[in-house]
Amino acid sequence: MSETSKPDYRSKVPKYHFSDTLAEQEAELASNPMLQRFADSRRALSGERHRPFYHFVSPESTLNDPNGLCFWQGRWHLFYQGYPPDDQRQHWGHAVSDDLIHWRDLPYAIYPDPEDCCYSGTALVEEGRVIAMYHGTKLGNMVALSSDPLLLNWEKVGEGAVIPIPGPDEPVPYSVFDPCIWKKGEDYYALSGGWLPRGPANKSARANFLFRSRDLEHWDYLHPFIEDDQYTVVGDDGACPYFWPIGEDKHIFLMYSHMTGGQYLLGDYDEARDKFVVTDGGLFNFGPSTPSGVHAPSAAPDGKGGVVVIFNMNQGIPTRGWNQIMTLPRLLTLDADGRLLMAPAGDIESLRGEHRAREGLTLPANEEIVLDEIAGNAMELALELDPGDSPLVELNVLRSPQREEYTRIAFYKHRGNRYRQGLSTSQAMNASSAAMALLPQRYESMITIDTSYSSTMPEALSRAPETAPVFLEDDEPLQLRVFIDRSVVEVFVNGKQCVAVRVYPERDDSIGVSLRAQGRPAALKRLDAWQMSNIWE
């Protein structure tokens, strides 16, 4: 194709260049027309009843995958696929935060051209710059650089894609899609997310391909990166990858599958062979991504051996002018046995306002206890419960007085998978069935968010209950942190598991809270409830 016949993918969105010092940038932002446009849009949309108070949502139009989460010069930066009203192709939207909770809008960061759209990618922070690597549609994987205080100015590397999409007459053993980037020694490494046909009916299988470069512009293909993966399944793909150390000696690989949603793999990075050997894995989605489910991850190191991750969440009803939102940030760490832990990240406690508490409350069997003094649709609840011998304990939130609407959070004690305790993997493989039968059994419990009765609106799309495993010791109390934010409910369980869904109560009085034990009594040791403030006011 000649130069004159190439498509013109230049964005129609106004683009600004900023100075190189923080003081100058702040002064320029104070009068920036784009930020004034964002502020006007936020005010216009603030009356939407399901628009969250303290979860990030784009200032205008919709958003899609979070991208390039990073910590640079004392601030957290979140990029995301934004759709500007004046050119509704994906640009990288941009927000900055001191605490991962209070976000401030910044102008669009990366614009299409020469690529058609700016899709997903990650960021690598170096001493003097930040490297963004992302997928440019119709072209390939791109690299852009920024080094100014607020990451406002970006310059792309090379004349086009640094890893081009192969042409139809270029047989290659890899695909080019969402990338992630890291550095080892003097070399940069990049994964390209993708898939290979495998299994029944040529369904896809997750595949992530490894490339290496010394200068960020010229890349050599090495090989498929991941070995011994028995956790993803036929039909998965490896979109939105992120690879980084976690804990003392492990690595974590995060991804999104368009079939089964967000997932993680844990394992060992064999640096001599440049292979990731998987030893464990699990899910972030426990149902489909749509409607109303968790979607793709963007992650960054926390500087202390953990990884911070944010996901976008899909809508469950049509909304005018906006739809998707971000989850709260989650801190991923490993326990002493190498199992993944997850807890809210950032200064979420700074949002707490009016406080109410209950403690020492017996929950009689089969009787719903309404907590009349605790109500709201933008709250944090922190509970410690002793399920006792009750097989099921329920917490209902966003409950109308006559239960026309409610969202049910249910804990099923020891009703999940069972495991044999006491043998390593290699020992278990060689043990006789008789020896295995003598080992003590450990049962997972299950946590569910059931939105079957969350809304009476006819346009609210139905979603099957989101149900995740969580392991609690026999004498371990149930500890829940529940974040309710108008159209989202996120539940963290004992720092070990998280489930999250979107909900759309129609009634103004769907703000109540209740508890119930099924079959046998249980005990509420303590419940704290805080009204949460709006981060945009």
**pLDDT per residue as tens digits for the range 172-190:** 999 999 999 999 999 999 9
At residue 6, does pLDDT exceed 90? no
pLDDT band of 202, cuts 50, 70, 90? confident
**pLDDT per residue as tens digits for the range 261-284:** 999 999 999 999 999 999 999 999
Bridge partners of 145?
131, 155
Domains of the chain by residue range: 17-344, 350-532
Q: Which one has a higher pLDDT value, 184 or 434?
A: 184
Q: Which one has a higher pLDDT value, 433 or 502?
A: 502
**pLDDT per residue as tens digits for the range 44-65:** 999 999 999 999 999 999 999 9
What's residue 403's pLDDT?
Answer: 98
What's residue 78's pLDDT?
Answer: 98
**pLDDT per residue as tens digits for the range 20-36:** 999 999 999 999 999 99
What's residue 432's pLDDT?
Answer: 61
What's residue 105's pLDDT?
Answer: 98
Kindly state the average pLDDT of the residues 139-162: 98
What's residue 424's pLDDT?
Answer: 46
At residue 427, does pLDDT exceed 90? no
Token pair, residue 161, equals 């894609």
* Beta carbons of 297 and 180 less than 8 angstroms apart: no
What's residue 417's pLDDT?
Answer: 84
At residue 68, does pLDDT exceed 70? yes
Classify domain 350-532 at the CATH class level.
mainly beta
Give the whole-angstrom CA distance, residue 490 versus residue 469: 15
**pLDDT per residue as tens digits for the range 478-490:** 999 999 999 999 9
Instruction: Quote the radius of gyration of the chain (alpha carbons, Å).
Output: 24
Token pair, residue 269, equals 């990075």
Average pLDDT over the chain reads 94
Kindly state the average pLDDT of the residues 304-325: 94
Q: Give the residue from 97, 52, 68 showing the smallest Cα distance to 345.
A: 97
Q: Which helix (H) or strand (E) holds 435?
A: helix 433-437
Give the whole-angstrom CA distance, residue 136 versus residue 123: 15
Instruction: Please report the DSSP string for 290-328 in residue order.
Output: TTT-EEEEEEEE-SSS-EEEEEEE--SS--SS---EEPP
What's residue 442's pLDDT?
Answer: 79
Give the whole-angstrom CA distance, residue 320 versus residue 299: 29
Classify domain 17-344 at the CATH class level.
mainly beta
Kindly state the average pLDDT of the residues 390-410: 98
At residue 528, does pLDDT exceed 70? yes
What's residue 428's pLDDT?
Answer: 53
**pLDDT per residue as tens digits for the range 340-386:** 999 999 999 999 999 999 999 999 999 999 999 999 999 999 999 99
At residue 426, does pLDDT exceed 50? no
Kindly state the average pLDDT of the residues 116-142: 98
In three-state secondary structure terms, 258 is coil
At residue 201, does pLDDT exceed 80? no
pLDDT band of 530, cuts 50, 70, 90? very high
Give the whole-angstrom CA distance, residue 367 versus residue 363: 7
Kindly state the average pLDDT of the residues 422-439: 55
Beta carbons within 10 angstroms of residue 122's beta carbon: 30
What's residue 330's pLDDT?
Answer: 98
Token pair, residue 77, equals 């930066």
What's residue 276's pLDDT?
Answer: 98
| Torsions phi, psi for 7 (to 5 deg) | -60, 145
What's residue 203's pLDDT?
Answer: 82
